[in-house]
Each structure stands twice: as C-alpha cells, then as structure tokens.
Structure 1
C-alpha cells in the first residue's frame, strides 16, 4: 500500500480530558452536528431507495437484492477501511466521504427525471455503502481523540441519541416527500445533507493521535487485516461479540425491507405511513441511546448487551404478525432502541481497550467479520418473505436473534465488567 502515516491536521496539542459538558466542547459539538446531519441523510435514503425499487418492481425480493448488494460492498470496504484510516488524515477522510456520497446520491434524482433507471441504484448504493464504511471506521477512531477514554460511552450515547432523533425526522420527512413528489426527491435531500455535514467537519480540530508514536508501516493489506483479526481473536470478549454479532447481522440486515413490505403490501398503506412508522420506531433509538450509559454503569456490560439483543429478537418476531399500525411502530421502537444500546456498548468497549494505533484496523476487522454473511442473510430473508409471508419469516428470524442473546450467557460477555 502506498499510504504513509501522517499526523492529523489541523492538529492541536494533546491535553488532559476536558471536564466541561460535551455540548460545550466546540470540536465535539461540530463533530456531533456533522454526524447528526449525515444520519439524517442516511435515514432519507433508507426509505427512499427501497421505495424506488418497490415502485418500479413491486418485489420485496428485489428490495432485498439491493440491500444485499450494498451489504457486499460494505463488507469489501471493511476489509481495507482500517488500513486506510490508520494511515491517513482521518478528518480529511471523513470530509471526502461526505462529498463523494453527496455526488453519488445527487445523481439519482437527476437521472430519474428521464424515468426509472433501476440499474443506477445497483451502482450508487454499493458505492455509497463502501464509502460509508470508510466514514464509519474513521468516525469511531476520531471520537476517542475528541472526548478521551473515560467519556466514550457518554459521547457515543449522545451521538447516537441525536443521530436517532435525526432518524425520527428522516423517515418521517422521506415518507412525506415520497408521498408528495416521489422517492427520487427524497434522495436529493440525502445528497444535500452530506454537503452540510462536510462543511461542519471542516470546522472540527482533531487532536494528535496517541498512536502517532507507533506509526502504521507499509506492511501490506492482508497483514494489516490479520493484525486486526488477531487482536479480536486473542481477547475473549471481543471474539465472542464478533461471532455473535455476525449471526445477528445475518438474521436482521433485511428487517427494514421486511417492515416496508409488510406495511405497503400486507397492510396496504402509503409511503407517508411507512415514513411515519419508521420515524416513530426511531424514537426507541433515542431512548436507548440516552439510557445506555446509565444501564451499563448499573448492570454492567454483559447484562446490558445480552438483554438488548434478546429483546431485539422478541420485537422482531412480532413485527410480521401485528396488523395495527401503532403496534408495528411500537415493536419497531423496541427493536431499534435495543439494537442501538447493544451497538453502543459493543463499540465503546472496542474503543476503550484497543490501542490507538490499532483502532482502525481492529474496527475494520470486526465489521468485516460481523457483516461478511449479512448480505446473504438479507437476500434470503426477503426471498423467504415473498415466498412464505412476512409473519412466519419474521417469527423464525426473531426467535433466532433472541437465541443469539441467550448464547451470550455461555460466553465471556456475561462476565464483562461494570465499566
């Protein structure tokens, strides 16, 4: 690889952890805003792209195929994302990722003016998912440099809470825009949000990385990936988390397509209702993000993570059977809230115990392994739903997700500490 280790610019001297409230810290504040806007855009495309496919084909299997294609690109990008993140200016990388996604998503409404072009979605979404993986790995590595190790769970919880608030407004707005002017216009809003996010990141000053005294060397892609995997394998808690999350992701990546199909085809509701239900469901993510730090302090990492995954499964199992729209929204809220808590716990633990100069590669290796089979799972889940109905498929997938949480009781996750 031709990448060389560099110091992050603009850099400010490393200093003791800032004791001020996070909302009063300038750099974290701009970073917080940028991440929230980025998620706002993501939540628009989360609704708009499946609606475009459903509008053109009427098939949940084709929706799942698009989700799977994006998942494959995400996994492939995860292979080398950590290598890139550990070697380049992380702030500039985040800005570049936002600008690339702005351009790619901006193509969709322009091309759609000439009529539906389904092939474009199968080009744009995988590319955006790959770039999004680079952004996600870079984002994880930057947070510790902004707030310090001791406040990671709090910072991640707050980032996830406001991101979830954007996730409430995004589906609601996307559903309304799609109902009024069409899903393609909702994708245009997504593109605009990335432009504003990039502008916010330009104002963030990132401290020098603690790992700069251990610069990444040009050791090669596969050796760097093996370095990240080896770190995960030799730490029992991280090893168990990665394995169980791989199964969970296989089972659940296609859940969004399943909910949309259930509302549109099984229950006969319009795009506005889809957006409203997913927006109400995202309120659960806000609640989970605000509660996760307190629950982890009180219960410990293990019980919080295991309980969250198990409750995800219970909610998932009921989603395909319930018919009242408020019930679908409530179960969606439970699922999203618990998934957010489990994800925040997992990410915070990796950030806390991984050396700075390895954080990108370990995060990349974790996500590569976690999502390696998820695209296949999304395709299988949506194909099965089209063949056998959303109710039975959701019940089986949800029960298996609950078993993933229960399996955590037999691993070192159960004994993880209370910090």
Structure 2
C-alpha cells in the first residue's frame, strides 16, 4: 500500500485483462465492499417479496400489482431525485436512504410475527423504491468522483461483477431460507444489509464536485440535456419501450417455476441465481466488448440476445434450460446496462449528472409499471408461454428499430449535445 494522488490510500491489484496494474482508491474499496454486501442482502428481497405475496394470496396479479406500485413510486421519486443529488451531499443522501430502508424492511418481519399483513407491503415497497431511486441516482454520480473518466466503464464492470457475484449466492440462500424459515426471514436479512451498507459508506470520501452549486432547472434540465444529445435521445426512448416489457419478467420467471412447474422455493432460488451468473459474465466481458465491437454492436446485440432467450422460454419446461435462458437474458441486460450507464457518465457535465440520471431513469422506467400489470394479467389469462413468445418477438423488433438510429454508433461518447 502507498500514499497516492490527493492523499488517498491506494491499493494495487492485478486485473485479469492483460495483467495490467490499476490503482484502486481506499474510498472506492469501501464503496465497493459495502455496496456488494448490500446487494447480497437485497437479492433476498428480490426473491422473498414475490414469494411472500404468492404465499399469502396465491395470485400472480397481486405480484404484478405490487411490482407496479413500486415502479410508480420510483418514477415519481425520480422527478425529484436528480435535483436532490445535484444540490446536496451525495454520500449523506446514500447513507440516509440505506438507514431508512433498513427500518422499513425490518417492519415486515416484525408485523409478520403476529400475522401476515399484505397491506404493509404496499407501504414498504413503494417507500423503499422511492428511497432506492434517490440512492441509485446518487450512486451513479459517485462513480466519476471515485475513478478517472477513462476507467468509468471498467469501474462499472468491476462493481457489477462483485455485485452480481454476491447476488449469485443471495437468491440461492433466499430460496433455501424461504423454504426452511419462510420468506419473512429473508426480508429480515435484507434489512440488516442496508444497515451494513450505510456503515460502510460512512468511511467513503468523494472528490469535490459541483453538488453544492445551485441545481438550476431541476428535472427539466436533465430532460433538455437528454433531448439535445444525438445518442442519448433515441437510447432513452428505446429503453422506455424495452422497460415496458422487462419490469414484469422477474415475476413471470418465478411464476413459471413456482406455479406452472410446481417447483419448491429452494429450486426457484437456485434457478433465479442464474440471473446473477449472467450478470457476472456481463461484467467480465463488457469493457472488452465495447472496446472491440463498439457501443452500438454491444448494446444492440445484447437486446437481440434478450429477445431470443425470452422467446425460447415459451417452448421449454425443463428447469436447467430455463436457468440457462435466464442466464442469457441477464447477460444481455447486464452488458447493455453497463454500456448505457457508462455513456451517460462520460458525456454528462458532472454538476448536471444527477438530474440527467434522474431524468433518464424516470423517462425510461415510467412505462414499466403499466407493462408489469399488463404482462402479469396476460400471463394469468393466457399462460406464461404465450407472454414469453410475444415479449421475445417485441424485443427483437425494438432492437431492429434502434439500429436505425444513432444508437448504432461505435463511439457515441464523441458526440456532443
């Protein structure tokens, strides 16, 4: 260890990519570890909350409704999150969001100790989603304050890798824990990890930013930047249409395994861990894919892979095959997500990054709750295979349409708003 630039304690680690030596700051290390722990616990709720609703109501429509309510809350919070992040201390906002979420999720096992209270989930989930939106926007703006610009994609990939690695174990443990002790116990673990994440963030220092400057223009300043940028504009619109399809898919994966195929909670957890395995693979290949293939091929090809994987889910009932297809789907969404987030971080002026991130997420996630409600309702009426087939086909059509826009550019970071 040695004293590096800006007086930060740095660690030198060897990456597998060409054996290069890169420097990781002490602050990035704390940020990395604390958020990995948070994601490991958060993945418990990823499985536990849908199972909790399914156990209590037996309804896929209720699962979709709860997902939709959380989505609406996130969209509404996104209108204000960017202004808060650009105006106030980003680290403190993340710590506060984690602490309040710890209390919210802890309320679920406390209430369930007396009797199931499904109504409480309709309070906890939207509030947690709103706080999560503030945290996510602040998190995105923190990365450029921790690493140099040319390392942003690699940093995002590294964070995504360890987050996903933790998430591999999370769903498996959540499924086993739900089978043995019930989904409520998994939610309790999630509450504890939010507290751990907040503690880790206490030790993180961000480089000086423009967050203390007046955040003039609010949410609309972010919208204007997205609209004026030749690549971010069609990218945001394309993702809005894709998110309409994607928000319900986790519920449908679980419903397919649990309801249609009669699998246990433990099997659901193991199968859904495949999504984290796909994310790990995405984080390992994304930086090299973007360097060699360019942004356009990497992003568009990822959603073509998603469309094929989802469509094939319509014709298989074998759990190993389903797990493999979920892995492919997560690989595609992972590569595309890292590419698009890195692009925004690269081309957006730092004092505006919170509002641009907030506007981007709000616009492209707004159709998600509607899609979640419609797709889960359609699955209840026509079955999951029909919904998977139609969804996969629409994925491919949307990827083809996006290929006709500037999204296909190899180096869109060179474009200016």
TM-score w.r.t. length of structure 2: 0.93
Shift of 1:418: 7.6
1:355 aligned to which of 349, 362, 373: 349
1:270 matches 2:268: no
Give the drift of 1:280: 2.4
**Matches for 1:38-49 after TM superposition, within 5 Å:** 38-49=38-49
Give the 3 Å change call, closer, same or farther, for CA 113–356 of structure 1 in structure 2.
Answer: same
Distance 2:89 2:293 in 1: 38
Contact 1:232–1:238 (8 Å) recurs in 2: yes
Corresponding residue for residue 340 of structure 2: 346
Over residues 243-288 of structure 1, what are the superposed CA-to-partner deviations in whole Å (9 max), with x where a residue is unaligned?
A: 0000000011010100111001110101000000011232011001
Measured after TM superposition, the shift of residue 236 of structure 1 is 1.3
Distance 2:130 2:381 in 1: 30
Instruction: Pick from 214, 217, 234 the counterpart of residue 216 of structure 1.
Output: 214
Q: Check the 8 A contact 1:285/1:337 in 2, yes or no.
A: yes
Residue number among 311, 321, 328 corresponding to 1:317 in the alignment: 311
Contact 2:30–2:203 (CA under 8 A) maintained in structure 1: yes
CA separation in 2, counterparts of 1:409 and 1:94? 36
Where structure 1 has 5 or more consecutive residues not aligned to the other structure, the ranges are 1-11
Question: In the TM superposition, what are the counterparts of 1:20-419 in structure 2 within 5 Å?
Answer: 20-21=12-13, 24-209=24-209, 211=210, 215-217=213-215, 219=216, 223-417=217-411
Contact kept in structure 1, 2:168 and 2:273, CA below 8 Å: yes
Contact 1:164-1:282 at 8 Å conserved across structures: yes
Give the whole-Å Cα distance in 2 for the aligned partners of 1:341 and 1:14: 32
The question of whether the paired residues in 2 share the 8 Å contact of 1:54 and 1:60 is answered with yes
1:365-398 CA-to-partner distances (Å, cap 9, x unmatched) read 0001001111000000100000000000011011
User: Taking structure 1 as reference, are residues 23 and 45 closer, same or farther at Cα in structure 2, changes over 3 Å only?
Assistant: farther
Q: 2-side partners of 1:26 and 1:41: how far apart?
A: 23
Counterpart CA distance in 1 for 2:222 and 2:272 is: 35
Q: Secondary structure at the match of 1:236?
A: coil
Secondary structure at the aligned position of 2:399 is classed as: helix
Q: Deviations over 1:46-66 (max 9, x none)?
A: 100000110011111110000
Aligned to 2:19: none
Q: For this pair of structures, how many residues does the alignment match?
A: 401
Counterparts in 2 of 1:83 and 1:15: CA distance versus 1, 3 Å: farther
Do the aligned partners of 2:311 and 2:390 also contact (CA within 8 Å) in 1? yes
> Does the 8 Å contact 2:109/2:185 carry over to 1?
yes
Aligned-pair RMSD on alpha carbons?
Answer: 1.8
Deviates more, 1:18-27 or 1:286-295: 18-27
Q: Which moved more, 1:276-285 or 1:43-52?
A: 276-285
Is contact 1:13-1:208 (8 Å) kept?
no
Identify unmatched segments of 5+ residues in structure 2: 14-21
Deviations 1:270-314 (A, max 9, x none): 100000001123201100111100000000001000000111111
TM-score, structure 1 as length reference: 0.93
